[in-house]
Structure formats: structure tokens, C-alpha cells
Chain A
Amino acid sequence: MRFVPLAAAGLAVLSLAAFTTGCTAGKEGGPALGSQPKASNTAPSAIPAATIELWHGFSADSEVKAFTDAIAGFNKLYPQITVKMVKGVQDEQITQAVRGGHAPDVASSFTTDSVAAWCKQGVFQDLNPIIKQDGVDLSGLPPVVDTYTQFDGKRCVMPLLTDAYGLYYNKALMKGNQPPRTLSELTKLAKELTVRNADGTIKVAGFIPSGQYYENGASHLGAMVGAKWTNPDGTSAIGSDPAWKTLLNWQKELVDWYGYANLDKFRKSLGDEFSGKHPFYEGKVAMGIDGEWRVAMLANEAPKLDYGTAPVPVDDARPDLYGSGFTAGTVIGVPKGAKNPEAAWALVKYLATDTGALVTLSNAIRNVPTTKAALESPDLKKDENFQTFLDIFANPRTTTVPAHVNSVFNQEALQTFMTSWEKGSAKDLDAGLKDVDKRIDDKLKLSGG
């Protein structure tokens, strides 16, 4: 039939057109940051008037209001810049927008999991040149921040606010004990504080060691033993770092003491993590790992609960780790293709480094501010319980999951093994961790490091 070659030719043209469009999208926008010579007039008023778009992941009214208040501070310095905010944005939307050539001027993400991929793909602009040009002093940031805002020598994002994780304990259930400082103390106390029903089921758990419990993910627990995720070349360090074995052996021993099925049934009977039925509020769990944001939630949802906070217990062989913990937080940067990069950078710099802005945001959202000056600001609302998390974040041994192109995949690989291990379906710890290494390394090869 004659129309077959015609149709085939049409399809070929169509494919080529669509493919070319796909490959060239996202190349429009203002000049890259730091690529222009430094302006002689660096006063805020020297930046031309512009309307810029800020995409962020917050969606609750109080959080949006906090952002609006912080922007009001920015507008006092830069009245000529109008900031339009778009709330509730996820990482995928940012990537797609940049790829489609519709990048916002400024974008912020809740998680640090995409940072490496964004740096590698060039989704966000490298801020190092402009930081150098503007002489921005980053020495006030704790060293851990570098691990989650940089990748491969590029600083694609700045930290905005962060979360730090520590131990919450119910004072009434502690029977006069002090919070544990080591894993062995935690085990001993967890057993002592656990109350069982007559049929052996759990009534009150001293501590739930399951990696499947709310904030007990591998990354959060890993900080208790100072466990390493990756080697400098990006390959997995999980199978070769003995710290993971220490953690998983400790965890398995305590899970087995409860009995996996018993603990699992108890875990599944508990209320939702982000509801007023949280087991910690209801006195069903004596100790648990949680983020600093729980302080504000407790004030709203369980104001009468008498509780305390402390750093997470650490490996008995590594007492030097006590005081540190896990941290990861919100990041903000200027995507490739931003139409007003100069104004966008002014906003990013302001939100990430201005003490007033960080304190405003932290006081409203109750996350940890990221600069030393903001942490020590007298305007920062804090009590004894919140202070614990400020100290954890500032601790030089505090860790995070370092930026990696396959960050989510790597965490998932370990988390899945952890579940099989605690359940008892994986029997060989060494082989299991080596398998996690293999999966991570194979994936790294696939995605090209």
C-alpha cells in the first residue's frame, strides 16, 4: 500500500521533532550565577526590579505564613523584587519544570535525597562561583551541611532549615531512670520499662527497636553507631563498615527479646505517627527516636505530657559519638533556566544566611535553623527540650546520608534488608550486607556515578 511509506516517513519526522524538543528543553533563562563580572554597586537597590517565583514544599497554613513573614523581611531590603510563592511542590515537579524549560527562579526541597542528582544533571546552578564573588561566609555552617548541599565539588543548594533527631522519653514511665547514653543501657532500660499483659502481649514498650517503626529508618538509627554509607568513590561502604553490623546485631537481639511477631502486632496496633493517637502521647512507648518538630507537636497535641529529650544512645565502643545524631533538612537553590538569577540569588542568600529570616522561619515552623548565628540568637524561641536538638545539629560528629545520585535507592536497599533481618527471614548478616553493597554498586554503574 502506498500510504504505508508515507505514514512511516511522517512518524519518523514526528519522532525526530519530538526527540529534538525533548533534548533541547530547559536551556532558556538568565545568565548562570557567577558568570558575569562582579557589579561595582553591590547595594540591594542595584538589583533591577523583578518578579520572581519561589517553589517550596510546605503546605500547612502556618508554614506558608512563616514563609510569607520571612519574605516580608526580604522585601524591606529589596522592595523592588516581588516574590510569588507556589506551595506544596515535590522534587519531581522541580526536575520536570527545569527539563521543560519552565524553571522557577528559586526552588526549595524538603529532602536532601535529590541533591546529588540535581548537581549531576545540572538541575540547580552551582552556587560556588557566586558565593566566592559575593564573599559569603559559610564558616557558620556546621560541617555536616557540606555533606548534603554539595556533590562532586558543586554546591547546588544552600541549607534553609533542618531536622535533627534525638531521643524522647516519657518521664512518668522512666521509673526515675536517666535517659540511656549507650546501646547497652538502652537495651537494659527498654527491657526494664516494658510492661506485658497476662497473655504475654505488649502493653507498654520500653523502646521499639524495629526499623519499621515511625522514625527508626536505617539512616536515623545509623547515626547511633556512626555508620558510613558510602566510600569516597560513591560505592557502598555498608558491607565493610563494622558499625552497621554492630547496629543490626543490637537491634536483632532486642527484637528477639520482644519476639518479632509480638512486637509487630503491637506496632500495628498503634495510632498514626502524625495524629493525636501517637503511642508516645498515650504512654504506650517509654522512649523513642523522633525529630525536633515533635516538640511543637507535643505542645499542641499532648500539652500535659511530662517528657524529656536527649541525644540518641550510641555504640558502647564509641562514647565520643554521644551528643551527635542524624540530621537532614530543607534545601534551597536557583534552578537552571531561572529567568532572574540575580534576584533569585539575593533571595536564596537572604533566606539561607540572614539570622532574622532563619529565626522567623524556625520560630514558626519549629525546625532547627542552620547557621551558628541563628542557633545562638536570643530571638530564637527555645526551651530545654528544643535546645537538645540545636546541640545535636551543632555537634561536629552529627551525620546525614551523604549526597549520592542513588540516595533513595541506597536507603531502600538497606532498609529492605533490615526488615528481612529483624524478621528473621535473612539469617546471614555478612552475606546480606554484601548483597546490599552489590545492589548499590551495580546501580551506581547503571546510573553512571
Chain B
Amino acid sequence: MAVIPLRRREGLKALLWLSPWLAGFGVFFAYPLLATVYFSFFKYDLFSLSFTGLDNYAYFLKDDRAWISIRNTAWLVVVMVPAQVLFALGVAQLVTRLKAGVGFFRTVFYLPSLIPVTAGTVAFVFLMNPATGPVNRILGLAGVQGPDWFGDKDWSKPGLTLLAMWGVGNLMVIFLAALLDVPRHLYEAAAIDGAGAWRQFRSITLPTIRPVLMFSAVTGVIYTLQYFTQAMIAARVASGTTDAPGTAFTPGYPEMSTLTLPQWLFQTGFRDYTMGYACVLALVLFAASLVFTLILLRQFRGFEEVAS
């Protein structure tokens, strides 16, 4: 009987232990990715397949909607993610400073994240309705002419950002835990050394909560690159479009300002059945996720070096 060398036996054992992950990776990541690359060179309507070379890629370059959706998605990544992170961090800081009613405020700030996304978005659009919504009425009482929020292309994305900030409860709880984890004696020592609040925050709080910040930034970016539901619902409700024959719903209302890349991907793939082209958009989205994540990882590594 042939004896299997120890190294090979170890290798097989490792493979055996890894096999569930390998199977999952293969079925849910590698295969879809390979299939996406493959189909991107074809005209594919789910029924017939014909090779078109780089036609889908050429169409992407001149598809103004795709570029608009990329710009909108980039806007959300650049503005919405930092706004969410900073707001959550700010709220968590405030809550940790409270002398009384900590439990109450923690609950109040966390509550919005328990509301289903659909209901929350619909409610937000109603609240910010320029004609009947209380937000603009209150602004009016203060002498400010409220904008048309989800009906104005310049205000729709800021409106979505406010919606995201309102539902920041989960992130706030994570920051709260991280902030409470910072050793108190460091602050006390810094205070004795004459460090002010800003200096303490910069030199003690930030480096300590760095892993949490990185986690929230990376997950925030990935989540925002997939931003779909809230934009779709807000556009639908604000446009007032219904599902009647001959009535086409326009994602991105108003004037394509809320059209994100995942929405355009969905529209081209599952509404227009141009699956080959949708695969090109999926690859662009994948590449963008990869690039943003790498940039963030690199940034935080740099930050870590400076801090240490």
C-alpha cells in the first residue's frame, strides 16, 4: 500500500476543511463572476444568445444614463457615507456625554433603524412634500422657503442623505460601544497634561476607535454602491406614477437625479432584457466596489501608521 506523504496528506486535509467555503465561493462568487464576464460579450435576452464582441462595452461608453447613474452613485458615496459616519459618531459622542436619560436618547436615536426601509422612505417623502408636508411648513414658520426635496433634482440626493442620517441607529450603537471602550484613564492623563477636548478626540478617541471607523466606512461604501430601494421608492412616490397600462415608471425621478448604478443595472437587465449589457454594468459596479474598498483600506493603513 502506497503511503501518502505527510505534506500531501496535510494538503488534502486542508482542502477537505476548506471545501464548504470553496463550494460556497465557487457557486456564489466565482461562477457568477465568470458568467458575468462571459455574458458581457453576448447579446442575451434570457432566451437567445449571440456573440457581439465588444458591442456592449461600446454601448456603455455612450450610454448617458449609465454615466449619470455612476455620477449619482459616486455623489452618494462621497457625501452620504461620510455624512452618515460623522452624524452617527457625533450622536454617539453626545449620548456618552449625557449625565441623565442616556437610555432614553439611545432608544430615540436607534428607533428609526427599526422601521422598514419602504415605510420609512414613503413616510419621509410625505413629510417632505412641498405642498402638504410638515417639514416645509415648519421651515415656512421660520421664514425659510423649503425646497421641493424629492421633486427637485438639486435636492433629491440631499433628501436621501437626510433619510440615511435619520436611520443611522445601528451605526450609532456600534460607535457608542467603541467609545465606551476607550480607557477613561487616558482622557484623565491627557487632561492633566493640558490637552483640550479636540486634542483628546484626535489623539485618544480616533486612534482607539479606528477599526470601527474603518468597518463603518467600508461597509458604508459597499452598501451605498448597492443603493437601490430608497432611491427607487422615493422616486416612485414623488413622481406619483402608477402601474397603469401605457404609463411607464421612470427610475431616477426627478430628471435622473436619483438614478443609481444598481437601478440602471436592474432596469437594463430585468426590464429591458438586455442581459449582456447589464453584465457590463455589473462588472463596472464590481470594479468600483473593489477600487473604493482598496482605497479605504490603504487610507486606514496610512492612518494607522501615523497614529502608531
Q: Does A219 contact B (CB under 8 A)?
A: yes
Where chain A touches its partner, the secondary structure class is helix
Within 8 Å by CB of B8, from A2, A14, A99, lies A2
Q: Do A112 and B245 form a contact, CB below 8 Å, given A117-B45, A264-B151, A419-B255?
A: yes
Q: Do A401 and B11 form a contact, CB below 8 Å, given A19-B35, A95-B46, A447-B274?
A: no
Q: Does B167 contact A (CB under 8 A)?
A: no
Chain B: CB-nearest residue to A165: B246
Q: Within 8 Å CB of A326, what residues of B?
A: 246
- B242-253 Cβ-contact flags toward A at 8 Å (1 or 0): 111111111011
A213 to B38, CA, bound (A): 43
Q: Within 8 Å CB of A447, what residues of B?
A: 43, 45, 272-274
- B22-56 Cβ-contact flags toward A at 8 Å (1 or 0): 10001100110011001000010111111000011
Q: Do A411 and B248 form a contact, CB below 8 Å, given A212-B240, A425-B255?
A: yes
Q: Which of B38, B153, B240, B243 has the most CB of A within 10 A?
A: B240
Interface residues of A in 28-63 (CB under 8 A from B): none
A443 to B270, CA, bound (A): 15
- Report whether B46 and A446 are in contact in the complex, using a CB–CB cutoff of 8 Å: no
Q: Does B295 contact A (CB under 8 A)?
A: no
Q: Does B59 contact A (CB under 8 A)?
A: yes
State the Cβ distance, B241 to closest chain A Cβ, in Å.
Answer: 8
Q: Does B239 contact A (CB under 8 A)?
A: yes
State the Cβ distance, B154 to closest chain A Cβ, in Å.
Answer: 11
Q: Do A416 and B272 form a contact, CB below 8 Å, given A2-B8, A291-B244?
A: no
Interface residues of B in 48-88 (CB under 8 A from A): 48-50, 55-56, 59, 62-64
Q: Does A265 contact B (CB under 8 A)?
A: yes
Q: Does A68 contact B (CB under 8 A)?
A: no
- Report whether A446 and B11 are in contact in the complex, using a CB–CB cutoff of 8 Å: no
- Report whether A14 and B242 are in contact in the complex, using a CB–CB cutoff of 8 Å: no
A113 to B59, CA, bound (A): 23
- Report whether A420 and B11 are in contact in the complex, using a CB–CB cutoff of 8 Å: no
A267 to B241, CA, bound (A): 12
Interface residues of B in 164-205 (CB under 8 A from A): none
Q: Does A101 contact B (CB under 8 A)?
A: no
Chain A: CB-nearest residue to B22: A7
Q: Do A267 and B45 form a contact, CB below 8 Å, given A14-B31, A217-B246?
A: no
Within 8 Å by CB of A7, from B26, B43, B131, B153, lies B26
Q: Within 8 Å CB of A1, what residues of B?
A: 11
- Report whether B131 and A265 are in contact in the complex, using a CB–CB cutoff of 8 Å: yes
Q: Do A267 and B49 form a contact, CB below 8 Å, given A15-B31, A409-B272, A442-B59?
A: no
Q: Does A408 contact B (CB under 8 A)?
A: yes
State the Cβ distance, A92 to closest chain B Cβ, in Å.
Answer: 6
Q: Does A189 contact B (CB under 8 A)?
A: no
Q: Does B271 contact A (CB under 8 A)?
A: yes
Q: Does A76 contact B (CB under 8 A)?
A: no
Q: Does B108 contact A (CB under 8 A)?
A: no
- Report whether A219 and B46 are in contact in the complex, using a CB–CB cutoff of 8 Å: no
Q: Does B220 contact A (CB under 8 A)?
A: no
Q: Which of B11, B22, B273 has the most CB of A within 10 A?
A: B273
State the Cβ distance, B155 to closest chain A Cβ, in Å.
Answer: 13
Chain B: CB-nearest residue to A2: B11
- Report whether B256 and A416 are in contact in the complex, using a CB–CB cutoff of 8 Å: yes
Q: Within 8 Å CB of A26, what residues of B?
A: 47
Q: Within 8 Å CB of A11, what residues of B?
A: 26, 30-31, 34
Known A111-B245, A219-B246, A267-B240; 16 more pairs at CB < 8 Å:
A11-B26, A99-B47, A213-B240, A268-B240, A269-B129, A274-B242, A291-B244, A409-B272, A411-B246, A415-B248, A415-B250, A420-B255, A443-B272, A447-B45, A447-B273, A447-B274
Q: List 25 A-B contacts (CB under 8 A).
A: A6-B15, A11-B30, A95-B273, A110-B245, A111-B246, A121-B273, A123-B47, A165-B246, A215-B244, A217-B247, A219-B246, A219-B248, A220-B246, A265-B130, A268-B151, A269-B129, A274-B242, A329-B245, A411-B246, A412-B248, A412-B250, A416-B256, A419-B255, A425-B255, A445-B59
- A interface residues (Cβ-Cβ under 8 A, vs B): 1-3, 6-7, 10-11, 14-15, 18-19, 23, 26, 92, 95, 99, 110-113, 117, 120-123, 163, 165, 212-215, 217, 219-220, 264-269, 273-274, 291, 326, 328-329, 400-401, 406, 408-409, 411-412, 415-416, 419-420, 423, 425, 439, 442-443, 445-448
3 nearest interchain CB pairs?
A269-B131, A411-B248, A328-B245
